[in-house]
Amino acid sequence: MKMKKKKILIVEDEKIVAIDIRNTLLQFGYDVTQIVSNEKDAINSVSEQKPDLILMDILLEGEKTGIDAARKIKDNFDIPLIFLTAHINDETLDKAKEVEPYGYLMKPFEERELHAIMEMTFHKIKTEKALRKSEEKHRTLIETMEEGLIIVDEKENFTFANPAACKIFGYQEKKLISMNIRDFVTQEEFQKILDNTVLRKKGISSKYELNIFTKQDEKRVITVAATPLIVDGKFTGTFGIISDITEKQKTEKTLRELKQAVETMTIGVTVTEIDGKIIFTNRADAKMHGYEPEELLGKDVRVFAPVRIRKPMSLSQVKKWKGLIRESSNIRKDGSTFPVRLMSDIVKDGKGDPVAIITTCEDITERKQAEEALRESEERFRSTFFHAAAGMILIHPDGTIRQVNESFCFMTGYKENELLNRNINSLIHHDDVRKNKKKIKTMLTGKLNYFHIEERLIHKKGDIIWVNVSISSVNDDFGKSLYLIAQILDISEMRKVEEEIKELNRQLEARVNKELNKRIEQQQLLIQKSKLESLGKLAAGIAHEINQPLAGISMAMDNILFKLSMDKCSKDYLEKKVNSVFNDIDRIRHIIEHVRTFSRDQKSVLLEKIDINETIKNALSMVQTQYKNHNIKVILEFKDDLEFAIGNKFKLEQVILNLLNNAKDAVEDREEAGNEINFKKQITIKTYSNPHNICIEIEDNGTGIPKENLDNIFDPFFTTKDPEKGTGLGLSIIYGIIQEMKGEISVSSEKNKFTKFIIKLPNLTKRKNNDN
């Protein structure tokens, strides 16, 4: 069967708020009977529509308040209501309590808060109705239990029965007095009657329970208070007061079970007499107030109330009760107070007179703390929102602006009322709307909780405002977006500064590139200078290398002239000597060409396949005669079939010549020291390879390099030589050249023993395999 929708009446003087509440209620499956804005319309609507619940704003149109309307509705219709209010003081709160609302909801509130308090209210109504029904049932049971009166003669025949007794046995009185008690009991039960009759014949009264079967063959349990009837000293029968305790026994069982349940409840339950004396309290109630249950029995229930709020209660006031629900403060045994929610009701006897009061007590400290924390949180949010330096907006999922702060109004040039209910996209630059919509659409699907975006807003005057926007979604318990919060920072000045910085960076980059090119040119000049310095040092050796073939040419020409003068110059002899002259000329041309190529200014590094062994030999060709004249032994340990390296052969020659010059200076310095008689100057050049590199080792047995200087020798202008011997740029340039060729150079040395430089250049074979 389809569940009937709950009918809700909305009493609210703010039309937009009322419509928003109505839409929310419809969304949650409630039926809104009407929206009214004043006391008169509210009472008329209640009379006509009979809603299940009323949402009542405290401040209404006209002179009457929502509290006035609620008081009349309570007196005439007893329909539950919840107060809505944006602010409430203690005086208003006290007046509102008098009409016993089911709750309060502070505006503005979230949809889930409204839904939660309404569901809790309907649950409370249902629970209270069920409780009243149960109490009425037990009350009716107690009120309808009447005692029966019977008289039987000495043979146990009925001679009298009142209506209650007739009802117990199920017969009319006329029929019943023609019957015997034996007709309603088993033989065993009848024997019990006879045993008690023996006592009565002796003048002794007795009381016992008896199982009987009624006219409908229904088994009932009755109590019998039997008194002998003595006439003229003779036993003539029995007068009995009977009570059907069948239901009582069932009730007692139920009450025992109920008491057990009450004892295990976490909510306090107290039963008092009308004068306030405690006759029962469960353990939860006693513990809540710091007592043991036994301590409270017989005490005045006002022991739980602080002195300032203790009020006497008259019987006439109690009779008017229809149940009392209120929030108050109770006091513990140690004097401390705590907030409670109390629900009281009266227990009446069969005549309708109150005989006891049942009160449930719930410690609502945590709830109050939560409410206070929520209030403070809402206040902090409200304060943060409205006083934030950044622009703040509350946006409905459909894009409608629901709230803005002053900063956003100042930023855009609009007034608050010009922005409310306006679509946020109308403020965004048309080129940015699409990406903004896309982000929000993704957020509303639940795939995104927040996002940041830079976009342009349009000022009221038409100016463009660059902003940084951070948007987050506030969702309900089901993950549905309730509203969006946007924080907006004006970054127009920042963007302007960024553009200025970019322009400065462009200018700086241009200047840096210009300076870098100058440095590169200077570096090339230094390299060229180093070459020329090397050539200067090699000049004597090169001159000797040229002088040797020149001497050969001169001697050949002298021999030819001599032979011609002797007329003994044969054709074969002349051809042999001319060939010798041409060979020496080729040798001179080769040396000059090599020196010319070596000294050429190469501004760019062309990396190519180079033969390391051949390159070393070319470098040696310019110094080997000079080394020989200086008694320097050069030992070559070349690997056969050495793979090709990647590099620049002319610059590598420059590196080799620089290192050989340094080695020559080192061995000659050690010789000049004169500390070793049999010292022999020696330079060893070794080549080898590994899977990654082609390696060159140049080792001399000269003075060595002090350990403390090893980390600095490749630094520009670092030198331990005299100023006339060097500037400290040689090894720095060598290091730069090797780096340009994607290689490495390292050094090891020991004073007065050796210095070894190791150069590693990329192995062309390995490089090709990697490229493949």
Could you read off the pLDDT of 146-183 as tens digits, one per residue? 688 899 999 999 999 888 888 889 999 889 999 999 99
Residues 391 and 488 sit within 8 Å (Cβ to Cβ)? yes
Neighbours of 54 (CB within 10 A): 27
Q: Which of 65-69, 277-281, 677-681, 728-732 has the lowest mean pLDDT?
A: 728-732
What's the CA gap between 428 and 430, in Å, rounded? 6
Mean pLDDT of 542-571: 68
Cα–Cα separations (whole angstroms), residue 128 to 72, 79, 80, 213: 22, 13, 12, 39
The reported pLDDT for the residue numbered 143 is 37
pLDDT at 585 > cutoff 80: no
DSSP E strand boundaries for 434-518: 450-458, 464-475, 481-490
The reported pLDDT for the residue numbered 107 is 82
Architecture of domain 265-369: 2-Layer Sandwich (3.30)
Query: Mean of the per-residue pLDDT values for the chain?
Result: 82
Element (H, E) at 237: strand 234-244
Q: Which residue(s) pair with 358 in the sheet?
A: 271, 345
Residues 43 and 69 sit within 8 Å (Cβ to Cβ)? yes
DSSP assignment, residue 266? S
List where CATH 3.30.450.20 sits in the chain: 148-249, 265-369, 388-490
How does pLDDT run across 351-390, given as a tens digit for each residue? 677 778 888 898 988 888 888 888 888 788 888 888 888 8
Q: Does CATH place domain 148-249 in 3.30.9.10? A: no
- Residue 129, C-beta contacts closer than 8 angstroms, at least 6 positions apart: none
User: For residue 219, with 0-12 CB atoms within 10 Å meaning exposed, 13-18 middle and 19 or more buried, which class applies?
Assistant: exposed
Mean pLDDT of 428-437: 88
Q: Which residue(s) pair with 229 in the sheet?
A: 237
In this structure, the dihedral spanned by the alpha carbons of residues 502, 508, 511 and 515, taken in order and rounded to 10 degrees, is -130
What's the CA gap between 99 and 92, in Å, rounded? 12
The reported pLDDT for the residue numbered 757 is 94
The reported pLDDT for the residue numbered 698 is 95
Residues 324 and 344 sit within 8 Å (Cβ to Cβ)? yes
- The HSE-up count of residue 493 (CA atoms within 13 Å, CB side) is 3
Q: Does CATH place domain 388-490 in 3.30.450.20? A: yes
What's the CA gap between 278 and 270, in Å, rounded? 7
Q: Which of 139-148, 214-223, 490-499, 550-559 has the lowest mean pLDDT?
A: 139-148
Backbone φ and ψ of 108, nearest 5°: -80, 150
What ranges in 88-171 are assigned the alpha helix state H?
Answer: 90-98, 111-143, 163-169
The reported pLDDT for the residue numbered 236 is 92
Among the four given CATH numbers 3.60.10.10, 3.65.10.10, 3.90.1150.10, 3.40.50.2300, the one describing domain 7-123? 3.40.50.2300
The band of 289, judged by pLDDT with boundaries at 50, 70 and 90, is very high
Nearest CA-CA partner of 529 in 658, 683, 374, 668: 658
Which CATH number does 605-771 carry?
3.30.565.10
For the chain, the straight-line distance linking the first and the last C-alpha, in angstroms and rounded, comes to 78
How many residues in the chain? 772
Provide, for the chain, the percentages of residues in helix, strand and coil under a 3-state DSSP scheme, each rounded to the nearest 5: 50, 25, 25
What's the CA gap between 544 and 564, in Å, rounded? 30
From its phi and psi, is residue 267 left (phi > 0), alpha (psi between -120 and 50) or beta?
beta
Mean pLDDT of 405-434: 91
How does pLDDT run across 115-136, given as a tens digit for each residue? 888 888 888 888 888 877 776 7
What's the CA gap between 150 and 169, in Å, rounded? 11
How does pLDDT run across 470-518, given as a tens digit for each residue? 888 888 878 788 888 888 988 888 888 888 888 888 888 888 778 777 7
DSSP assignment, residue 675? -
Residues 38 and 62 sit within 8 Å (Cβ to Cβ)? yes
